[in-house]
Structure 1
Protein backbone atom coordinates (compact mmCIF):
# COMPACT_ATOMS: atom_id res chain seq x y z
CA UNK A 1 0.00 0.00 0.00
CA UNK A 2 3.07 2.26 0.12
CA UNK A 3 2.04 3.83 3.44
CA UNK A 4 3.85 4.17 6.77
CA UNK A 5 0.92 2.58 8.61
CA UNK A 6 -2.24 0.84 7.47
CA UNK A 7 -5.63 0.67 9.14
CA UNK A 8 -7.60 -2.11 7.48
CA UNK A 9 -11.08 -3.62 7.58
CA UNK A 10 -11.69 -7.18 6.42
CA UNK A 11 -15.38 -7.99 6.06
CA UNK A 12 -16.27 -11.66 6.29
CA UNK A 13 -13.09 -12.75 8.04
CA UNK A 14 -14.25 -15.83 9.92
CA UNK A 15 -12.65 -18.29 7.50
CA UNK A 16 -11.30 -18.81 4.01
CA UNK A 17 -9.96 -15.82 2.07
CA UNK A 18 -11.12 -13.30 4.67
CA UNK A 19 -9.24 -15.04 7.47
CA UNK A 20 -6.24 -15.27 5.14
CA UNK A 21 -6.26 -11.49 4.68
CA UNK A 22 -6.33 -10.95 8.45
CA UNK A 23 -3.40 -13.31 8.97
CA UNK A 24 -1.44 -11.70 6.13
CA UNK A 25 -1.97 -8.16 7.39
CA UNK A 26 -0.99 -9.04 10.94
CA UNK A 27 2.33 -10.31 9.61
CA UNK A 28 3.12 -6.89 8.11
CA UNK A 29 5.03 -4.36 10.21
CA UNK A 30 3.17 -1.53 8.48
CA UNK A 31 -0.20 -2.73 9.79
CA UNK A 32 -1.37 -0.54 12.66
CA UNK A 33 -4.86 -1.97 13.14
CA UNK A 34 -7.04 -4.65 11.58
CA UNK A 35 -10.80 -4.70 12.06
CA UNK A 36 -12.36 -8.03 11.13
CA UNK A 37 -16.03 -8.89 10.92
CA UNK A 38 -17.70 -12.25 11.38
CA UNK A 39 -21.34 -13.31 11.25
CA UNK A 40 -21.40 -16.14 13.78
CA UNK A 41 -18.97 -17.02 16.60
CA UNK A 42 -19.48 -20.73 15.87
CA UNK A 43 -17.84 -20.36 12.44
CA UNK A 44 -15.19 -17.86 13.54
CA UNK A 45 -13.22 -19.91 16.05
CA UNK A 46 -9.87 -19.45 14.28
CA UNK A 47 -10.37 -15.72 13.90
CA UNK A 48 -11.43 -15.20 17.51
CA UNK A 49 -8.47 -17.27 18.73
CA UNK A 50 -5.92 -14.87 17.22
CA UNK A 51 -4.09 -13.07 20.02
CA UNK A 52 -2.89 -9.73 18.64
CA UNK A 53 -3.50 -6.30 20.14
CA UNK A 54 -3.84 -4.89 16.64
CA UNK A 55 -6.91 -7.04 15.86
CA UNK A 56 -10.47 -6.01 16.70
CA UNK A 57 -13.23 -8.50 15.84
CA UNK A 58 -16.75 -7.24 15.26
CA UNK A 59 -19.96 -9.27 14.78
CA UNK A 60 -21.66 -8.13 11.57
CA UNK A 61 -24.33 -9.71 9.41
CA UNK A 62 -23.84 -7.94 6.08
CA UNK A 63 -27.54 -8.30 5.29
CA UNK A 64 -28.41 -6.10 8.29
CA UNK A 65 -27.74 -2.41 7.63
CA UNK A 66 -28.08 -1.52 11.31
CA UNK A 67 -25.25 -3.90 12.18
CA UNK A 68 -23.12 -2.38 9.42
CA UNK A 69 -23.76 1.11 10.78
CA UNK A 70 -22.94 0.05 14.34
CA UNK A 71 -19.66 -1.61 13.31
CA UNK A 72 -18.50 1.38 11.30
CA UNK A 73 -19.47 3.72 14.15
CA UNK A 74 -17.31 1.59 16.47
CA UNK A 75 -14.38 1.80 14.05
CA UNK A 76 -14.85 5.57 13.73
CA UNK A 77 -14.52 5.98 17.49
CA UNK A 78 -11.10 4.31 17.46
CA UNK A 79 -9.54 5.45 14.18
CA UNK A 80 -10.24 8.43 11.90
CA UNK A 81 -9.45 6.61 8.67
CA UNK A 82 -9.12 3.32 6.84
CA UNK A 83 -6.60 2.62 4.07
CA UNK A 84 -7.71 -0.85 3.01
CA UNK A 85 -11.13 -2.49 3.02
CA UNK A 86 -11.65 -5.97 1.59
CA UNK A 87 -15.14 -7.41 1.49
CA UNK A 88 -14.90 -11.20 1.34
CA UNK A 89 -18.55 -12.05 2.03
CA UNK A 90 -20.11 -14.33 -0.57
CA UNK A 91 -22.75 -17.04 -0.91
CA UNK A 92 -22.76 -19.90 -3.43
CA UNK A 93 -24.48 -22.73 -1.59
CA UNK A 94 -26.17 -23.24 1.76
CA UNK A 95 -28.36 -26.26 2.52
CA UNK A 96 -31.17 -26.38 -0.03
CA UNK A 97 -29.75 -23.32 -1.78
CA UNK A 98 -27.55 -24.66 -4.56
CA UNK A 99 -26.37 -23.25 -7.92
CA UNK A 100 -29.09 -23.85 -10.50
CA UNK A 101 -28.32 -26.13 -13.43
CA UNK A 102 -31.48 -25.24 -15.38
CA UNK A 103 -34.43 -22.86 -15.44
CA UNK A 104 -36.55 -25.52 -13.73
CA UNK A 105 -34.54 -24.98 -10.55
CA UNK A 106 -35.10 -21.22 -10.30
CA UNK A 107 -36.46 -20.36 -6.85
CA UNK A 108 -37.51 -16.83 -5.93
CA UNK A 109 -36.43 -17.05 -2.29
CA UNK A 110 -33.04 -18.39 -3.28
CA UNK A 111 -32.55 -15.62 -5.85
CA UNK A 112 -33.39 -12.98 -3.25
CA UNK A 113 -30.91 -14.55 -0.83
CA UNK A 114 -28.13 -14.50 -3.45
CA UNK A 115 -28.68 -10.80 -4.11
CA UNK A 116 -29.04 -9.95 -0.43
CA UNK A 117 -25.66 -11.48 0.44
CA UNK A 118 -23.62 -11.09 -2.74
CA UNK A 119 -24.80 -7.70 -4.00
CA UNK A 120 -26.68 -5.49 -1.56
CA UNK A 121 -24.33 -5.90 1.42
CA UNK A 122 -21.38 -4.54 -0.55
CA UNK A 123 -23.14 -1.38 -1.66
CA UNK A 124 -24.34 -0.76 1.90
CA UNK A 125 -20.69 -0.93 2.93
CA UNK A 126 -19.80 1.61 0.25
CA UNK A 127 -22.56 3.87 1.58
CA UNK A 128 -21.41 3.82 5.20
CA UNK A 129 -17.63 3.65 4.68
CA UNK A 130 -17.41 6.97 2.87
CA UNK A 131 -16.41 9.03 5.97
CA UNK A 132 -13.63 6.59 6.95
CA UNK A 133 -12.20 6.77 3.43
CA UNK A 134 -12.29 10.58 3.43
CA UNK A 135 -8.63 11.40 3.87
CA UNK A 136 -5.66 12.49 1.81
CA UNK A 137 -3.91 9.10 1.56
CA UNK A 138 -4.43 6.47 -1.10
CA UNK A 139 -7.01 3.91 -0.06
CA UNK A 140 -8.53 0.80 -1.63
CA UNK A 141 -11.96 -0.73 -1.18
CA UNK A 142 -11.89 -4.15 -2.86
CA UNK A 143 -14.78 -6.60 -3.02
CA UNK A 144 -14.40 -10.26 -3.91
CA UNK A 145 -16.48 -10.98 -6.99
CA UNK A 146 -16.26 -13.94 -9.39
CA UNK A 147 -15.40 -14.48 -13.03
CA UNK A 148 -18.75 -16.22 -13.51
CA UNK A 149 -20.32 -12.81 -12.82
CA UNK A 150 -18.95 -11.62 -16.16
CA UNK A 151 -21.72 -11.45 -18.78
CA UNK A 152 -19.19 -11.26 -21.61
CA UNK A 153 -17.38 -14.37 -20.39
CA UNK A 154 -20.50 -16.50 -19.85
CA UNK A 155 -20.37 -19.36 -22.34
CA UNK A 156 -21.64 -22.27 -20.24
CA UNK A 157 -24.82 -20.92 -18.62
CA UNK A 158 -26.31 -22.21 -15.37
CA UNK A 159 -25.74 -20.84 -11.87
CA UNK A 160 -28.37 -18.15 -12.49
CA UNK A 161 -28.57 -16.64 -9.03
CA UNK A 162 -24.86 -16.63 -8.29
CA UNK A 163 -23.93 -15.25 -11.73
CA UNK A 164 -26.59 -12.55 -11.66
CA UNK A 165 -25.84 -11.45 -8.09
CA UNK A 166 -22.13 -11.14 -8.86
CA UNK A 167 -22.90 -9.19 -12.06
CA UNK A 168 -25.07 -6.90 -9.92
CA UNK A 169 -22.23 -6.57 -7.44
CA UNK A 170 -19.91 -5.48 -10.24
CA UNK A 171 -22.40 -2.85 -11.40
CA UNK A 172 -22.99 -1.58 -7.85
CA UNK A 173 -19.29 -1.12 -7.20
CA UNK A 174 -18.54 0.36 -10.62
CA UNK A 175 -21.29 2.92 -10.05
CA UNK A 176 -20.10 3.67 -6.52
CA UNK A 177 -16.57 4.14 -7.83
CA UNK A 178 -17.79 6.98 -10.06
CA UNK A 179 -19.33 8.76 -7.07
CA UNK A 180 -16.26 8.12 -4.92
CA UNK A 181 -14.02 9.60 -7.63
CA UNK A 182 -16.02 12.81 -7.47
CA UNK A 183 -15.86 13.02 -3.68
CA UNK A 184 -12.77 11.01 -2.65
CA UNK A 185 -10.36 11.10 -5.56
CA UNK A 186 -7.68 8.98 -3.86
CA UNK A 187 -10.01 6.08 -3.02
CA UNK A 188 -9.96 3.15 -5.45
CA UNK A 189 -12.95 0.80 -5.68
CA UNK A 190 -12.56 -2.51 -7.50
CA UNK A 191 -14.05 -5.97 -7.72
CA UNK A 192 -11.64 -8.91 -7.78
CA UNK A 193 -11.87 -12.49 -9.04
CA UNK A 194 -9.73 -14.62 -6.69
CA UNK A 195 -9.54 -17.72 -8.83
CA UNK A 196 -10.77 -21.06 -7.52
CA UNK A 197 -9.57 -21.16 -3.93
CA UNK A 198 -9.62 -24.15 -1.58
CA UNK A 199 -12.41 -22.94 0.71
CA UNK A 200 -15.77 -24.19 1.96
CA UNK A 201 -17.48 -22.19 -0.79
CA UNK A 202 -15.68 -24.04 -3.60
CA UNK A 203 -15.35 -27.46 -1.93
CA UNK A 204 -18.32 -29.16 -3.67
CA UNK A 205 -17.11 -27.99 -7.09
CA UNK A 206 -13.39 -28.74 -6.95
CA UNK A 207 -13.49 -32.13 -8.65
CA UNK A 208 -13.18 -30.70 -12.16
CA UNK A 209 -10.55 -28.09 -11.23
CA UNK A 210 -6.95 -28.96 -12.27
CA UNK A 211 -4.62 -29.03 -9.22
CA UNK A 212 -2.54 -26.13 -10.57
CA UNK A 213 -5.68 -23.96 -10.77
CA UNK A 214 -6.87 -24.66 -7.23
CA UNK A 215 -5.21 -22.06 -5.03
CA UNK A 216 -4.54 -22.19 -1.31
CA UNK A 217 -5.93 -19.28 0.70
CA UNK A 218 -2.40 -18.02 1.36
CA UNK A 219 -1.60 -17.98 -2.35
CA UNK A 220 -4.89 -16.26 -3.20
CA UNK A 221 -4.35 -13.55 -0.60
CA UNK A 222 -0.80 -12.87 -1.78
CA UNK A 223 -1.94 -12.68 -5.41
CA UNK A 224 -4.81 -10.33 -4.58
CA UNK A 225 -2.58 -8.14 -2.43
CA UNK A 226 -0.17 -7.87 -5.37
CA UNK A 227 -3.08 -6.66 -7.50
CA UNK A 228 -4.24 -4.22 -4.81
CA UNK A 229 -0.75 -2.81 -4.30
CA UNK A 230 -0.43 -2.06 -8.01
CA UNK A 231 -3.78 -0.32 -8.46
CA UNK A 232 -3.90 3.33 -9.43
CA UNK A 233 -6.82 5.74 -9.34
CA UNK A 234 -7.40 5.17 -13.08
CA UNK A 235 -8.26 1.56 -12.19
CA UNK A 236 -11.12 2.56 -9.89
CA UNK A 237 -14.37 0.93 -10.93
CA UNK A 238 -12.56 -1.96 -12.60
CA UNK A 239 -13.06 -5.73 -12.44
CA UNK A 240 -9.78 -7.63 -12.22
CA UNK A 241 -8.64 -11.23 -12.05
CA UNK A 242 -6.16 -12.62 -9.52
CA UNK A 243 -3.29 -12.02 -11.94
CA UNK A 244 -4.18 -8.36 -12.43
CA UNK A 245 -5.74 -8.78 -15.86
CA UNK A 246 -9.01 -6.90 -16.49
CA UNK A 247 -12.15 -8.99 -16.90
CA UNK A 248 -15.02 -8.23 -19.31
CA UNK A 249 -18.32 -7.05 -17.87
Structure 2
Protein backbone atom coordinates (compact mmCIF):
# COMPACT_ATOMS: atom_id res chain seq x y z
CA UNK A 1 0.00 0.00 0.00
CA UNK A 2 1.30 3.44 -0.94
CA UNK A 3 0.56 6.97 0.17
CA UNK A 4 -0.69 9.20 -2.62
CA UNK A 5 -1.24 12.97 -2.86
CA UNK A 6 -3.67 14.22 -5.50
CA UNK A 7 -3.65 17.94 -6.33
CA UNK A 8 -6.91 18.84 -8.04
CA UNK A 9 -8.74 15.91 -6.49
CA UNK A 10 -12.23 17.26 -7.17
CA UNK A 11 -11.85 17.47 -10.96
CA UNK A 12 -12.91 14.84 -13.47
CA UNK A 13 -9.53 13.16 -13.87
CA UNK A 14 -8.31 13.98 -10.37
CA UNK A 15 -11.30 12.41 -8.66
CA UNK A 16 -11.11 9.33 -10.88
CA UNK A 17 -7.40 8.86 -10.16
CA UNK A 18 -8.09 9.30 -6.45
CA UNK A 19 -10.78 6.63 -6.59
CA UNK A 20 -8.56 4.26 -8.57
CA UNK A 21 -5.75 4.50 -6.03
CA UNK A 22 -8.16 4.12 -3.09
CA UNK A 23 -9.81 1.07 -4.66
CA UNK A 24 -6.54 -0.80 -4.76
CA UNK A 25 -5.82 0.01 -1.12
CA UNK A 26 -3.58 3.05 -1.25
CA UNK A 27 -3.93 5.88 1.26
CA UNK A 28 -5.09 8.93 -0.70
CA UNK A 29 -4.79 12.55 0.41
CA UNK A 30 -6.66 14.91 -1.89
CA UNK A 31 -6.48 18.69 -2.16
CA UNK A 32 -8.54 20.94 -4.39
CA UNK A 33 -9.77 24.49 -4.72
CA UNK A 34 -13.43 23.63 -4.23
CA UNK A 35 -12.87 21.26 -1.34
CA UNK A 36 -9.94 22.77 0.53
CA UNK A 37 -9.42 26.27 -0.83
CA UNK A 38 -6.15 25.39 -2.52
CA UNK A 39 -5.39 27.90 -5.27
CA UNK A 40 -2.39 26.60 -7.20
CA UNK A 41 -1.94 29.99 -8.86
CA UNK A 42 -1.34 31.60 -5.47
CA UNK A 43 2.10 31.02 -3.97
CA UNK A 44 0.96 31.57 -0.38
CA UNK A 45 -1.97 29.15 -0.78
CA UNK A 46 0.29 26.41 -2.18
CA UNK A 47 2.84 26.93 0.60
CA UNK A 48 0.20 26.84 3.32
CA UNK A 49 -1.56 23.72 2.08
CA UNK A 50 1.51 21.70 1.15
CA UNK A 51 3.55 22.92 4.09
CA UNK A 52 0.84 21.67 6.41
CA UNK A 53 1.07 18.07 5.21
CA UNK A 54 2.83 15.49 7.35
CA UNK A 55 5.13 12.79 6.08
CA UNK A 56 6.02 11.95 2.52
CA UNK A 57 4.15 10.43 -0.41
CA UNK A 58 5.00 7.62 -2.80
CA UNK A 59 3.28 9.55 -5.57
CA UNK A 60 2.17 13.13 -6.13
CA UNK A 61 -0.28 13.58 -8.99
CA UNK A 62 -1.05 17.12 -10.20
CA UNK A 63 -4.40 17.09 -12.01
CA UNK A 64 -5.17 20.81 -12.03
CA UNK A 65 -5.77 22.75 -15.24
CA UNK A 66 -8.39 24.13 -17.58
CA UNK A 67 -8.95 24.58 -21.27
CA UNK A 68 -11.35 27.51 -20.85
CA UNK A 69 -10.89 30.12 -18.13
CA UNK A 70 -13.42 32.87 -17.33
CA UNK A 71 -15.26 32.13 -20.55
CA UNK A 72 -12.21 32.62 -22.79
CA UNK A 73 -12.31 29.81 -25.35
CA UNK A 74 -9.16 28.45 -27.05
CA UNK A 75 -8.10 30.69 -29.91
CA UNK A 76 -8.77 29.49 -33.43
CA UNK A 77 -6.25 31.95 -34.85
CA UNK A 78 -3.35 34.11 -33.65
CA UNK A 79 -5.58 37.12 -34.37
CA UNK A 80 -7.63 36.14 -31.32
CA UNK A 81 -4.74 36.25 -28.83
CA UNK A 82 -5.38 38.40 -25.78
CA UNK A 83 -3.06 39.20 -22.91
CA UNK A 84 -5.36 38.25 -20.02
CA UNK A 85 -6.59 34.91 -21.44
CA UNK A 86 -2.99 33.94 -22.21
CA UNK A 87 -1.73 34.98 -18.79
CA UNK A 88 -4.60 33.06 -17.15
CA UNK A 89 -3.63 29.93 -19.07
CA UNK A 90 -0.02 30.19 -17.99
CA UNK A 91 -0.99 30.89 -14.38
CA UNK A 92 -3.15 27.79 -14.06
CA UNK A 93 -1.55 25.30 -16.45
CA UNK A 94 2.13 26.13 -15.98
CA UNK A 95 2.81 28.29 -12.92
CA UNK A 96 0.44 26.25 -10.74
CA UNK A 97 2.18 22.90 -11.29
CA UNK A 98 5.55 24.68 -10.96
CA UNK A 99 4.60 26.00 -7.52
CA UNK A 100 3.58 22.50 -6.47
CA UNK A 101 6.78 21.04 -7.91
CA UNK A 102 8.73 23.53 -5.82
CA UNK A 103 7.64 21.52 -2.76
CA UNK A 104 8.44 18.11 -4.29
CA UNK A 105 11.71 17.64 -2.37
CA UNK A 106 9.75 17.78 0.89
CA UNK A 107 6.80 15.72 -0.37
CA UNK A 108 8.75 12.76 -1.73
CA UNK A 109 10.99 10.31 0.15
CA UNK A 110 14.72 10.68 -0.48
CA UNK A 111 15.17 6.92 -0.67
CA UNK A 112 13.31 4.48 -2.90
CA UNK A 113 11.01 4.89 -5.88
CA UNK A 114 8.63 7.85 -6.02
CA UNK A 115 6.57 9.59 -8.68
CA UNK A 116 5.73 13.23 -9.34
CA UNK A 117 3.33 13.34 -12.29
CA UNK A 118 1.70 16.35 -13.93
CA UNK A 119 -1.23 16.22 -16.33
CA UNK A 120 -0.14 17.74 -19.60
CA UNK A 121 -1.71 17.41 -23.06
CA UNK A 122 -0.55 16.21 -26.45
CA UNK A 123 -1.41 19.63 -27.90
CA UNK A 124 1.44 20.97 -25.76
CA UNK A 125 3.88 19.07 -27.97
CA UNK A 126 5.73 21.43 -30.31
CA UNK A 127 6.86 18.57 -32.53
CA UNK A 128 3.37 17.12 -32.86
CA UNK A 129 1.65 20.40 -33.73
CA UNK A 130 0.49 20.19 -37.30
CA UNK A 131 -2.76 22.15 -37.31
CA UNK A 132 -2.18 25.27 -35.19
CA UNK A 133 -4.80 26.99 -33.05
CA UNK A 134 -5.27 26.98 -29.28
CA UNK A 135 -2.14 29.08 -28.89
CA UNK A 136 -2.43 30.00 -25.22
CA UNK A 137 -3.35 26.50 -24.03
CA UNK A 138 -0.71 24.86 -26.23
CA UNK A 139 1.95 27.26 -25.02
CA UNK A 140 1.06 26.80 -21.36
CA UNK A 141 1.23 23.03 -21.70
CA UNK A 142 4.54 23.27 -23.57
CA UNK A 143 5.77 25.39 -20.68
CA UNK A 144 4.70 22.86 -18.05
CA UNK A 145 6.51 20.16 -20.03
CA UNK A 146 9.71 22.19 -19.74
CA UNK A 147 9.04 22.75 -16.04
CA UNK A 148 8.68 19.00 -15.51
CA UNK A 149 11.84 18.30 -17.52
CA UNK A 150 13.90 20.83 -15.56
CA UNK A 151 12.41 19.79 -12.22
CA UNK A 152 13.24 16.15 -12.91
CA UNK A 153 16.93 16.96 -13.31
CA UNK A 154 17.13 18.81 -10.01
CA UNK A 155 15.00 16.26 -8.17
CA UNK A 156 17.12 13.32 -9.30
CA UNK A 157 20.18 14.84 -7.63
CA UNK A 158 18.68 14.48 -4.16
CA UNK A 159 16.00 11.82 -4.75
CA UNK A 160 17.74 9.09 -6.75
CA UNK A 161 14.64 6.96 -7.15
CA UNK A 162 12.33 9.79 -8.22
CA UNK A 163 10.35 9.79 -11.45
CA UNK A 164 9.13 13.22 -12.55
CA UNK A 165 6.97 13.06 -15.69
CA UNK A 166 4.31 14.81 -17.76
CA UNK A 167 1.32 12.67 -18.75
CA UNK A 168 -1.20 12.97 -21.56
CA UNK A 169 -4.43 11.23 -20.45
CA UNK A 170 -6.03 11.09 -23.87
CA UNK A 171 -9.36 12.79 -24.51
CA UNK A 172 -11.42 12.30 -21.38
CA UNK A 173 -15.18 12.88 -21.26
CA UNK A 174 -15.45 15.52 -18.53
CA UNK A 175 -17.01 19.00 -18.28
CA UNK A 176 -13.48 20.19 -19.10
CA UNK A 177 -13.71 18.82 -22.66
CA UNK A 178 -17.47 18.60 -23.26
CA UNK A 179 -17.66 21.51 -25.72
CA UNK A 180 -14.63 20.38 -27.71
CA UNK A 181 -15.10 16.65 -28.23
CA UNK A 182 -16.69 16.84 -31.67
CA UNK A 183 -15.94 13.60 -33.50
CA UNK A 184 -12.92 12.80 -31.33
CA UNK A 185 -13.20 9.52 -29.42
CA UNK A 186 -13.18 10.00 -25.66
CA UNK A 187 -12.88 7.69 -22.67
CA UNK A 188 -14.66 7.93 -19.35
CA UNK A 189 -12.68 9.29 -16.38
CA UNK A 190 -12.46 5.91 -14.62
CA UNK A 191 -10.95 4.28 -17.73
CA UNK A 192 -8.52 7.18 -18.15
CA UNK A 193 -7.50 6.82 -14.51
CA UNK A 194 -6.76 3.12 -14.91
CA UNK A 195 -4.68 3.89 -18.00
CA UNK A 196 -2.67 6.52 -16.14
CA UNK A 197 -2.05 4.25 -13.16
CA UNK A 198 -0.85 1.51 -15.50
CA UNK A 199 1.60 3.91 -17.10
CA UNK A 200 2.89 5.19 -13.76
CA UNK A 201 3.22 1.65 -12.39
CA UNK A 202 5.51 0.76 -15.29
CA UNK A 203 7.88 3.73 -15.05
CA UNK A 204 11.39 3.54 -13.66
CA UNK A 205 13.81 6.30 -12.59
CA UNK A 206 15.36 6.05 -16.07
CA UNK A 207 12.09 7.46 -17.43
CA UNK A 208 12.23 10.64 -15.36
CA UNK A 209 11.90 13.91 -17.22
CA UNK A 210 9.87 12.41 -20.07
CA UNK A 211 6.40 12.98 -21.55
CA UNK A 212 4.17 9.91 -21.88
CA UNK A 213 0.67 9.33 -23.23
CA UNK A 214 -2.05 7.17 -21.70
CA UNK A 215 -0.68 4.06 -23.44
CA UNK A 216 2.85 4.56 -22.09
CA UNK A 217 4.27 5.85 -25.38
CA UNK A 218 6.61 8.83 -25.38
CA UNK A 219 5.20 12.04 -26.81
CA UNK A 220 7.47 14.34 -28.82
CA UNK A 221 8.48 17.57 -27.14
- TM-score relative to the length of structure 2: 0.97
Aligned-CA RMSD value: 1.1
1:9 to 5, 10, 15: 5
Aligned residue pairs, count: 221
In structure 2, what is the equivalent of residue 102 of structure 1?
A: 77
Task: Show CA shifts across 1:88-118 (max 9, x none).
Answer: 1111113431100012210001100000000
Does 2:218 match 1:246?
yes
Give the counterpart of 1:191 among 155, 158, 166.
Answer: 166
Uncovered stretches (5+) of structure 2, i.e. residues with no partner: none
Which of 19, 23, 26 is residue 19 of structure 2 equivalent to? 23
- Match for residue 232 of structure 1? 204
**Contact 1:188–1:232 (Cα < 8 Å) also in 2:** yes
Question: Residue deviations 1:56-93, cap 9 Å, x none?
Answer: xx4311001111111112212xxx21101110111111
Is residue 214 from structure 1 mapped to residue 208 from structure 2 by the alignment?
A: no
Is 1:89 the equivalent of 2:64? Answer: yes
* Counterpart-to-counterpart distance in 2, 1:232 and 1:101: 38
Cα distance in structure 2, aligned partners of 1:208 and 1:121: 31
Structure 1 or 2, whichever has the larger Rg, is: 1
2:110–2:158 CA contact under 8 A, matched in 1: no
SS in 1 for 2:166: strand
Shift of 1:161: 0.2
C-alpha distance in structure 2 between counterparts of 1:96 and 1:81, whole Å: 37
Do 1:81 and 1:135's aligned partners in 2 also have CA atoms closer than 8 Å?
Answer: no
Alignment match, 2:136: 161
Structure number with the bigger relative contact order (C-alpha 8 A, sep ≥ 6) is 2
User: Where does residue 31 of structure 2 map in the other structure?
Assistant: 37
